[in-house]
Structures are given as C-alpha cells and as structure tokens.
C-alpha cells in the first residue's frame, strides 16, 4: 500500500527558513480579563431559552392587566378580527424561532387568554402597520394611565429587560415616524430610565449614610428592661462616634451634643461594664481615643520580666530561658533589663532560674519610676510603699547592694512577699519595716531619694483587675487623693535637701486620673519647697498643665503619663521632684517674722522665692483657733528660744516644732 503522496495540497507560503515568527502573544495571566466571559454554545442556547421564557411570562402578565382594563370597552367584532390576526402571526414566529415545547406553552397561553390585545402585534412586527392596530392604539390611549403602570411592573420585576422597552416604545409612537426618530425616542426613554435608576440608587446609598437617629428616651427605657444586645450597642457606639467626629454636619438638628454624649456614655458603660462615674472620668481624659483606651483595657498586657543584674546578665538569662522553650524579646530600647515573654512551654514563675532569683516578673511600667529615681550607689533610699517588692529589688540592683534601702509598707501581710522577693533576689542592703507612710517622717528622715509609688484607685491597670470598673466612685477617688497628698508631704519631709547627690522624690501611681496625679503633685508644689525636674524618661506623654477647670503649675509638663493604648504599658504616671530646701513653708510664718529675717540673713541660698512660697504664705491664716491661742501664749517663750535658734541651724527648729506639737 505505502504512503500516498499528497499532491492535492497546494504549497503555501515560503520555505522553512523564511518562515516568519508569529507576533508575540501575551501570556494568559497577563491578558486583560474580559468583563464578560464568552459563553459556550450550550450556554448560549440556554440563555436564549431563558430570555424567551421570561419574555413570555411578561407578555402573559401584560396581557392579563391589559385585559382587565380594556375588555369592557372592546366590541366583540373587533375581538374576533384581532384573534385571527394574532393567531396567524404568532404561529409563524413560533415555528421559526422557538422550540417545540415552548410553542406548545405559547399556544396554551393563547388559548387561555383568547382575547388578546395590541402588545402582541408590537412585538412581532414593526413594519406591520395595519389599520386595526391603529385603531387599537386609539382605544388604548384612553387607558394611558394604566400603561405606565404596566411598565413599572415590568421594571420592578426585571429592570434590564430590553424587550419591554421596545414594546413600550412602539406602544406610544406607532404612528408613522422615521426610523431615526424612533431611535431617538428610544434613546430618550433609555436615558430617562437610567436617570431614574441612578436616582434610586443614590437614595438607597443615602439611606445607608443617612444621619444616625438617636433613640428617644422611651426607647432607651424600653431597652434597658431587656437584656443588653451587645451587637446593637456596639453599632450605636460606632454611629455616635461617627456623628461626633463631624458634629456640625452629621447631627440631628434638634438634638444637642449632650444627648449624644449621654447616650454614648450609657452605651459604653453597658458594653464594657463600667460604672457611670468612671466612664465620665475617662471620657474627660480621652475625648479622642476613648474606645481605644477601653479596648486596651480588655486586653492583657504582655508578661514582662526584669533581669536581676546582681546575679546574671540579660543575654545569659535570655539564652537559658530560650533553651527552656520560652519565646521572648527585649522589652524596648528604653530598658536594658526588661524582657517580654510571648509564650512559654514552662511556667515562667516557677523555673529554677526564677527560684534562684535571676529574674522577677514585673510589669513594664514598674520599671519607669525606678529609672526616674536613678538611685546611686551608697545612698540612703526609701521606698515608701514597697509591696510586693518589684521596684524595691530594682532599686537595690541599681545601687549594687550598697548603701541602705528602706522598704516600707502599710500592710504587714503584703510585706511577706517583699521579704521573699528580696531574699530570693539576693539583696542584702535592705531594711524592711512596717509603718504607716504618713508617720515615716517621724521615724527616720534624711534620705537621699524617696520613691513613693502611692496606693491608688488602679484605673490604669483595669486589664489586671477588672473589679475597678465598677467598684470606684467619687468618694473612693477623693479618699485616695487625700491619702496620696498626705503621703507625698510625708515623703518630702523624709528627704534631705542638702544631700550632695540626691534630694529627689519620685511620685508614681498606676492611675490615669488627674485627681490622683497632677492634683497631688500640684498640692505638694504648693505646700513644700520642691520643684519639678525632668524624669529622664524619653517617652510617654507629658502631664497636663491645664485640665478642664484645673490650672496646674506651668512645669507640670515635666511629668510623664503612660497609657495602655498608646504605649502598651499599664496606665501610669511618673513625676520627679527635687527638694531645694528643708524648710516647710507654712511653718516659717508661724514662728515669727523676726526669725525669718535672721534666717534670710544667715543663708541667702534659701531665699528662693517661688510663686509657690507666696501662695503658701496665706496658709497660716487657715490655722485652727486652738493653735492661734497657743501661739499667743507661747510667743514670749518662743522669742527667748528664737534667740537661741539664731545660733543653731535647721535641726533645732525641728525640735521646737516637735515640742510645740507635744504641748498641743
């Protein structure tokens, strides 16, 4: 058999060598995707079927509607004629364009609606301008009102139905128009429709963006009886915040800002479980980022540890802990001893390293006041509220176990932890005592540095203790602030202003409220010869100089505030004060003017007249009447004593003071 040589195929093109490379083709991935996929053959078939079905459905609907309107008017004869026509036309089309099944359906529908009307004619043939149709048109004109109705029905069911459009067009201008005119009319109509659609869309959009409507008092009352629906509340909080962000434009005209704020506060109280008072305080403090703050309070701060530099180095500790399966990182650039623990396979508070005192678990914020204090070696330092000893051990480590450190706390049972921690960390330079901080100045004074981490309401550490959310009220805050003021005065009195290296007090709280922070420091500035100095902390937000009705000392911006949502630390406040004179301003005036003069002559250094001093000059007026009597009685005696006092220095003055109090 062999192969046959294909002779019939004509040679095409040049030879192999001259073959031209085809034009480069973009790879499929780079090709622009067409908006509409090309349909396969079957799909196309199905599509045409679908369209046809839809069309028929619409026709039937239209028929029924039109029937209702017209049947009464139409005469029987006309009907007959039309029926004949319709039948003819329909049949022809159906045979040509449609499948058997559909045609059967069609015929059924026709039999059902035996009395048909113009719509059909229009569909089939534009050129078919018979007189009858015209007549029909004339008649239908009467029921013009109803026709647009039909249109609308069509639109509502399927807005993109071209068939309908076409039919409508012909309905209205079936008169003899030029094809171009028809087209124009068609176009007009389409435009109109587009416009309508656009408007509709716009309106729906506006509805979404529409002003948030505050629920009325009754609605809120009704809601408060039901269990809270957190999703609704959260949505409302977001809406109100949105409104408040641009209040002028987004508000409801008849509602005041106060209405919005009250509802916001109530909602946030319910959503985050705060009491009203605390929420009000927070809203004053964080007008912008209240939600961030509240959310940060729901999340725990990362676990952080501090390396005990007396026993190990951070690098070595990190290595050993990593070997135990701990995932950690340095805490930040601002500290050389802190490590943050991400996760751990072993309990981080019970490793042999922990027990051997190589580190202590301590919040990142607790490092800050100690860093601000910056205790030097061989100093005498007091930690006034020491428990549980995290900061105390840090101070001792900074002092390298030299000098003397006093750790005091009011609660004896909490001091057990201090004893344990100090021994575990190998600290030997510390005396642990249990006094009320307010009496500390009577026990011992002359410290180079004092750290007062005052007991506070704990509004900065809500993540740690959520009980604060509901348990604090105005009274508690007032009580705290009062205690803090007493403690800070006592702490200042413990300081020795003449110390060559020190004379510093660091005041810190884990509260964010102004009442417990700036107010207390401001109070101390007024009552004692202290001034604010920079804390030495590079980050954190400055303290408030003005806050609402408060006007603090202009240097209050040297204090530092830390927030959970901005620094991922506990809420914290740190202020560093330097005592520049051992005098207590208020008491000078009581002794007498004479002595004052002599004192000023003696040491001009002390003659630093601050604005604070002037303020304090008035405080002597507020003495109790008892004291005034005593003053008068003891004036002569005092004058004698003053003679002696001229020679002696500060110490004797203190003795005098004590005696005076004893008498009292």
Partner 1 sequence: MRPLTDQECKVFFEKLSKYIGENIKQLLERQDGKYCFRFHKDRVYYCKEQLMKKAGHISRDHLLSFGTCFGKFTKTGKFRLHVTALDFLAPYAKFKIWLKPNAEQQFLYGNHVMKAGLGRITEGTPQFQGVVIYSMSDLPLGFGVAAKSTQECRHADPMATIAFHQADIGEYLRNEEKIT
Q: Which residues are annotated as a binding site for S-adenosyl-L-methionine?
A: 385-391, 409, 436, 453
522, 319 contact by CB (below 8 A): no
Closer residue to partner 1 in complex, CB, 206/443? 443
Using the minimum distance from each CB to partner 1, give the nearer residue, 166 or 356.
356
Minimum distance from CB of 484 to partner 1 (Å)? 22
Distance CA 576, CA 503 (A): 10
**33: three-class secondary structure by DSSP:** coil
**Nearest to partner 1 of 233, 318 (CB atom):** 318
Binding site residues, partner 1, CB under 8 A: 320, 349-350, 352-353, 355-356, 380, 404, 406, 412, 415-417, 419-420, 422-424, 426, 428-435, 443-444
Taking the C-alpha atoms of residue 299 and residue 566, their distance in angstroms, rounded to an integer, is 13
Q: Where are the beta strands (DSSP E) in 38-121?
A: none
Cα 661 to the center of its chain, rounded Å: 54
Rama region for 108: left / alpha / beta (φ>0; ψ in -120 to 50; rest): alpha
- Sequence-distant (6+) residues with CB within 8 A of 473 are 275, 277
Taking the complex as a whole, how short is the minimal distance between the CB of residue 532 and partner 1, in angstroms? 29
Q: Which of 456, 480, 510, 519 is catalytic?
A: 510
Q: Which is nearer to partner 1, 392 or 559 (CB)?
A: 392
Cα 37 to Cα 43: distance, rounded to the nearest angstrom: 11
> CA–CA separation, 149 vs 239, rounded Å?
39
Sheet of strand 338-344, all strands in order from the earlier edge strand to the far edge? 326-330, 338-344, 303-307, 359-361
399 touches 379 (CB < 8 A)? yes
With a CB cutoff of 8 Å and minimum separation 6, the contacts of 120 are 59, 63, 86, 89, 90
Cis amide bond preceding 159, omega within 30? no
Minimum gap (Å) between residue 633 Cβ and partner 1: 33
Q: How many CA atoms lie within 13 A of 439 on its CB side?
A: 7
Instruction: Quote the Cα angle for 496-500-501, to 5°.
Output: 90
Q: Considering the complex, what minimum distance in angstroms separates the CB of residue 473 from partner 1? A: 33
Least distance to partner 1 from the beta carbon of 379, Å?
12
In three-state form (DSSP H/G/I as H, E/B as E, the rest C), the secondary structure along 558-598 is: HCEEECHHHHCCCCEEEEEEEECCCCCHHHHHHHCHHHHHH
How far, in Å, CA of 452 to CA of 383, rounded? Answer: 6
* Beta-strand pair 338-344/326-330: antiparallel
Nearer to partner 1 by Cβ, of 187 and 431: the residue is 431
End-to-end CA distance of the chain: 141
- Tokens read off for 97: 């364009």
Q: What are φ and ψ of residue 433, in 5° steps?
A: -135, 165
Q: How far is the CB of 413 from partner 1 (least distance, A)?
A: 8
* C-beta closer to partner 1: residue 305 or 525: 305
Query: Can you tell me the distance from the alpha carbon of 259 to that of 268, in angstroms, rounded to the nearest whole number?
Result: 14
Residue with tokens 């009858």: 132
Coil, helix or strand for 325?
coil
Which residue lies nearer to partner 1 by CB, 338 or 389? 389
C-beta closer to partner 1: residue 120 or 447:
447
Report in angstroms how near the CB of residue 284 gets to partner 1 at its nearest: 41
Are 398 and 383 within 8 A, CB to CB? Answer: no
3-state SS, residue 415: helix
> Rounded to the nearest whole angstrom, what is the least distance from the CB of residue 415 to partner 1 in the complex?
5
Handedness of CA 37, 40, 43, 44 (dihedral sign): positive
Binding positions are 385-391, 409, 436, 453
Rounded to the nearest whole angstrom, what is the least distance from the CB of residue 313 to partner 1 in the complex? 15
In angstroms, the Cα distances linking 601 to 19, 71, 476 are: 114, 122, 46
Choose between 420 and 478: whose C-beta lies nearer to partner 1: 420
112 is catalytic: no
Active site residues: 510
């Amino acid at each position: 058999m062999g192969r046959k040589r294909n002779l019939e195929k004509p040679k095409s093109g040049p030879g192999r060598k001259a073959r031209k490379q085809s034009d480069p083709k973009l790879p499929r991935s780079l090709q622009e995707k067409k908006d509409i996929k090309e349909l396969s053959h079957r799909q196309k078939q199905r599509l045409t079927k679908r369209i046809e079905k839809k069309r028929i459905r619409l026709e039937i609907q239209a028929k029924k509607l039109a029937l209702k309107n017209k049947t009464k008017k139409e005469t029987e004869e006309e009907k007959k004629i039309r029926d004949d026509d319709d039948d003819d036309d329909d049949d022809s089309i159906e045979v040509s364009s449609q499948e058997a099944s559909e045609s059967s359906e069609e015929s059924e529908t026709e039999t059902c609606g035996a009395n048909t009307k113009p719509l059909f004619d229009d569909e089939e043939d534009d050129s078919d301008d018979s007189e009858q149709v015209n007549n029909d048109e004339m008649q239908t004109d009467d029921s013009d009102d109803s026709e647009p109705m039909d249109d609308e029905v069509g639109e509502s069911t399927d807005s993109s139905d071209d068939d309908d459009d076409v039919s409508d067009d012909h309905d209205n201008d079936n008169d003899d128009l030029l094809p171009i005119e028809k087209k124009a009319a068609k176009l007009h109509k389409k435009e109109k429709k587009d416009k309508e659609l656009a408007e509709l869309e716009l309106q729906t959009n506006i509805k979404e963006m529409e002003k948030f409507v505050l629920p009325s008092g009754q609605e809120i009352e009704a809601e408060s009886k039901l269990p809270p629906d957190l999703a609704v509340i959260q949505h409302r909080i977001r809406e109100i915040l949105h409104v408040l962000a641009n209040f002028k434009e987004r508000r409801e005209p008849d509602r005041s800002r106060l209405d919005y704020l009250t509802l916001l506060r109530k909602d946030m109280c319910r959503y985050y479980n705060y009491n009203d008072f605390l929420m009000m305080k927070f809203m004053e403090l964080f007008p912008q980022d209240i939600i961030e703050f509240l959310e940060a309070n729901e999340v725990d701060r990362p676990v952080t540890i501090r390396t005990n530099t007396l026993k190990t180095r951070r690098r070595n500790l990190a290595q050993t802990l990593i070997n135990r399966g701990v995932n950690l990182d340095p805490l930040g650039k601002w500290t050389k001893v802190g490590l943050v623990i991400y996760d751990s396979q072993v309990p981080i508070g019970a490793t042999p390293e922990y027990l051997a005192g190589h580190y202590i678990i301590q919040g990142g914020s607790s490092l800050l006041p100690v860093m601000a204090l910056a205790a030097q070696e061989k100093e005498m330092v007091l930690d006034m509220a020491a428990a549980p000893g995290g900061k105390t051990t840090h101070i001792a480590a900074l002092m390298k176990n030299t000098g003397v450190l006093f750790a005091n706390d009011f609660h004896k049972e909490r001091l057990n932890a201090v004893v344990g921690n100090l021994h575990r960390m190998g600290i030997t330079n510390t005396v642990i005592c249990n006094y009320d901080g307010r009496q500390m100045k009577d026990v011992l004074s002359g410290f180079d540095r004092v750290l007062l981490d005052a007991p506070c309401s704990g509004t900065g550490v809500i993540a740690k203790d959520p009980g604060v959310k509901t348990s604090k009220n105005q009274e508690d805050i007032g009580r705290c602030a009062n205690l803090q003021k007493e403690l800070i005065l006592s702490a200042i009195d413990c300081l020795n202003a003449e110390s060559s290296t020190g004379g510093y007090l660091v005041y810190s709280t884990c509260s964010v409220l102004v009442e417990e922070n700036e107010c207390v420091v401001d109070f101390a500035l007024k009552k004692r010869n202290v001034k604010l100095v920079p804390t030495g902390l590079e980050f954190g937000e400055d303290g408030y100089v003005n806050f609402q009705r408060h006007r603090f000392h202009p240097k209050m911006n040297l204090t530092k505030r830390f927030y959970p949502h901005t620094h991922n630390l506990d809420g914290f406040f740190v202020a560093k004060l330097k005592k520049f004179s051992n005098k207590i301003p208020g008491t000078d005036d009581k002794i007498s003017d004479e002595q004052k003069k002599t004192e000023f002559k003696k040491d001009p250094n002390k003659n630093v007249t601050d604005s604070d001093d002037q303020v304090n000059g008035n405080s002597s007026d507020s003495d109790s009447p008892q004291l005034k009597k005593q003053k008068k009685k003891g004036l002569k005696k005092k004058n004698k004593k003053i003679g002696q006092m001229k020679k002696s220095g500060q110490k004797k003055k203190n003795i005098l003071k004590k005696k005076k109090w004893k008498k009292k």
